[in-house]
């Protein structure tokens, strides 16, 4: 076996998992396609000690630190499939290489599908965001908008007035009941029922939402809840149990980040209902512990160690 653990995805979750394992002198391969979800944002916020730094710089600092450890290897490549072996997994890469690992950690994140409104996609990660804790403070006190594409947005609409005066824009087919409206009114949220057709502003900045009847509602930031889908087909191919989340399915894991298939662990956005860099990093640490403990327990039961100590 070449590696104790093969980690799919080398961002907040995958690199945090790698850090624990290489410090435990295990041999770790991180395979990363290098398309982290927040690559559209110029700065990442809320990650203690890294607040305001560009996401790519945070990742590079992590890689630089990991490269000091003898057990660490990083490949920029894509995992296409993982086939269970008698012990461990054989992992096929897009480059044509094949590697083996005793355990797998899936940390490939999720993909976003954004609502179709003119001017929205090009502002994603700038003046259009998914999370007020990540980018709300930088919107300077508003006015703010939220485009309601699912009922998770209602929770966010109740949050947003803490960052600035808020308008909730309903999308086609969405409606509110009396109780929902009352809660919004109590939090000072204005509700706009005419559809947003375009976002207006200089370059990536936002100054207003244009409505279907031509009116302009001034906003400097818009929040949306994109639909999310799991990275690649690995979870399905491995027959992992999924859970339904408010924005899309995610991989079911237990307290030690173990999936429904023994030997396969999952972390980060791909295995969580809440999507945030710190949480992804923390869950990577948990998955690393889960994978490490499972190796140790197998060895304690008399299985030979599959990889030499790094
Ligand atoms: C626009 C935007 C801005 C954000 N800003 C913030 C912020 O300021 N603060 C904050 O806390 N959170 C922020 N988030 C949320 C944060 O980005 C995610 O919670 C975090 O990136 C999740 O980390 P992850 O490691 O699970 O996945 P990701 O960071 O998405 O990384 C997954 C990695 O796995 C790779 N991968 C996928 N499939 C494969 C495969 N088959 N083979 C190999 N590699 C693969 C991907 O290419 C990628 O590099 C933001 C999200 C978005 C969309």
Q: For residue 21, what is the domain's CATH number?
A: 3.50.50.60
Are 98 and 164 part of one and the same domain? no
Residue 40 Cα: closest atom of ligand 1: 1
| DSSP label at residue 195 | P
Of 223, 246, 279, the last residue of a domain is 223
239 plus 100 within the same structural domain:
yes
Chain-centroid distance of CA 93 in Å reads 22
Our answer on whether the CB atom of 130 is closer than 6 Å to any ligand 1 atom is yes
Residue 232 covered by a domain: yes
pLDDT at 71: 97
Domain-embedded: residue 51: yes
Q: Is residue 126 part of a domain?
A: yes
Indicate the top mutation candidate among 16, 37, 97, 156 to test ligand 1's pocket, ranked by most ligand atoms within 8 A of CB: 37
**Residue 55 CB–ligand 1 contact under 6 Å:** no
Structural domain total, the chain: 2
Asked if residue 308 is part of any domain, the answer here is no
Picking from 258, 238, 271, the residue whose alpha carbon sits closest to that of residue 109 is 271
Please indicate, yes or no, if residue 234 is contained in any of the structural domains. Answer: yes
Q: Is the CB of 32 under 6 A from ligand 1?
A: yes
Whole-number Å distance, alpha carbon 254 to ligand 1 midpoint, is 21
Ligand 1 and 269: CB distance under 6 A: yes
Q: What are phi and psi of 179, to 5 degrees?
A: -65, -40
Same domain, 28 and 156: no
Task: Please check whether residue 309 lies inside any domain of the structure.
Answer: no
Closest atom, ligand 1, to C-alpha of 79: 42
Taking the C-alpha atoms of residue 229 and residue 252, their distance in angstroms, rounded to an integer, is 14
Pick the closest to residue 228 from 271, 174, 286 (CA basis): 271
- Do both 216 and 134 map to the same domain? yes
- Whether residue 306 lies inside any domain: the answer is no
Q: Mark whether 81 and 30 lie in a shared domain.
A: yes
Query: Same structural domain for residues 219 and 120?
Result: yes
- Does 233 share its domain with 192? no
73 in contact with ligand 1, CB cutoff 6 A = no
Ligand 1 mutation target, pool 47, 59, 77, 277, most atoms within 8 A of CB: 277
Same domain flag for 46 and 143 = no
Ligand 1 atom at minimal distance to the Cα of residue 278: 11
Shortest-distance atom of ligand 1 to CA 80: 41
How far, in Å, CA of 225 to CA of 245, rounded? Answer: 12
Taking the centre of ligand 1 as the mean of its atom positions, its distance from the CA of residue 285, in whole angstroms, is 16
- The answer to whether the peptide bond before residue 143 is cis (omega within 30 degrees of 0) is yes
Element (H, E) at 67: none
Q: What pLDDT score does 283 carry?
A: 98
Among 202, 223, 244, the domain boundary falls at 223
CB–CB of 243/252 below 8 Å?
A: yes
pLDDT tens across the length of the chain (310 residues): 799 999 999 999 999 999 999 999 999 999 999 999 999 999 999 999 999 999 999 999 999 999 999 999 999 999 999 999 998 999 999 999 999 999 999 999 999 999 999 999 999 999 999 999 999 999 999 899 999 988 878 999 999 999 999 999 998 888 999 999 999 999 999 999 999 999 999 999 999 999 999 999 999 999 999 999 999 999 999 999 999 998 999 999 999 999 999 999 999 999 999 999 999 999 999 999 999 999 999 999 999 888 888 9
Which atom of ligand 1 approaches the CA of 93 most closely? 42
Domain holding 188, by residue range, is 115-223
What's the rounded Cα separation, in Å, for the pair 55 and 190?
34
Q: Do residues 93 and 165 share a domain?
A: no
Same domain for 91 and 233: yes
Q: For residue 106, how many other CB atoms are within 10 A of its CB?
A: 32
* CA distances (Å), origin 192, targets 62, 181, 216, 256, 300: 44, 11, 11, 44, 62
Domain boundary among 223, 244, 275: 223
Q: Are residues 87 and 159 in the same domain?
A: no
The residue with tokens 């480059």 is: 95
Q: Is the CB of 31 under 6 A from ligand 1?
A: yes
Sheet holding 221-224, edge to edge: 128-129, 221-224, 144-148, 166-170, 190-192
Helix (H) or strand (E) holding 227: strand 227-230
Tokens of 116: 């179709």
Task: Kindly give the number of the ligand 1 atom that is closest to the alpha carbon of 9.
Answer: 34
**From ligand 1's centre to the CA of 269, what distance in Å?**
7
State the pLDDT at residue 149.
87
Quote the DSSP letter at residue 118. Answer: B
305 within a domain of the structure (yes/no) = no
């Amino acid at each position: 076996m070449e590696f104790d653990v093969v980690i799919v995805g080398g961002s907040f979750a995958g690199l945090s998992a790698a850090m624990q394992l290489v410090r435990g002198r295990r041999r770790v391969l991180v395979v990363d396609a290098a398309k982290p979800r927040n690559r559209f944002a110029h700065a990442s916020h809320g990650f203690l000690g890294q607040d305001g730094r560009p996401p790519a710089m945070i990742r590079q600092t992590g890689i630089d630190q990991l490269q000091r450890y003898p057990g660490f290897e990083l490949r920029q490549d894509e995992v296409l499939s993982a086939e269970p072996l008698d012990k461990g997994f054989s992992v096929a890469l897009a480059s044509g290489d094949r590697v083996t690992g005793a355990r797998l950690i899936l940390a490939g994140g999720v993909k976003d599908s954004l609502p179709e409104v003119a001017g929205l996609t090009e502002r994603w990660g700038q003046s259009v965001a998914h999370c007020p804790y990540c980018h709300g403070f930088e919107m300077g006190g508003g006015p703010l908008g939220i485009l309601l594409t699912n009922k998770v947005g209602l929770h966010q609409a109740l949050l947003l007035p803490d960052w600035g005066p808020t308008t909730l824009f309903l999308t086609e087919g969405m409606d509110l009941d009396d109780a929902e409206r009352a809660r919004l009114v109590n939090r000072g949220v204005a509700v706009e029922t005419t559809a947003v057709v375009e976002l207006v502003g200089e370059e990536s900045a936002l100054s207003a939402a244009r409505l279907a009847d031509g009116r302009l509602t001034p906003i400097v930031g818009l929040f949306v809840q994109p639909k999310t889908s799991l990275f690649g087909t690995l979870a399905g191919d491995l027959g992992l149990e999924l859970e339904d989340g408010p924005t899309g399915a995610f991989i079911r894991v237990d307290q030690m980040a173990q999936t429904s298939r023994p030997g396969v662990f999952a972390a980060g956005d791909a295995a969580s209902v809440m999507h945030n860099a710190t949480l992804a990093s923390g869950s990577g640490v948990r998955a690393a512990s889960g994978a490490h403990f499972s190796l140790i327990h197998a060895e304690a039961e008399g299985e030979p160690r599959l990889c030499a100590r790094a």
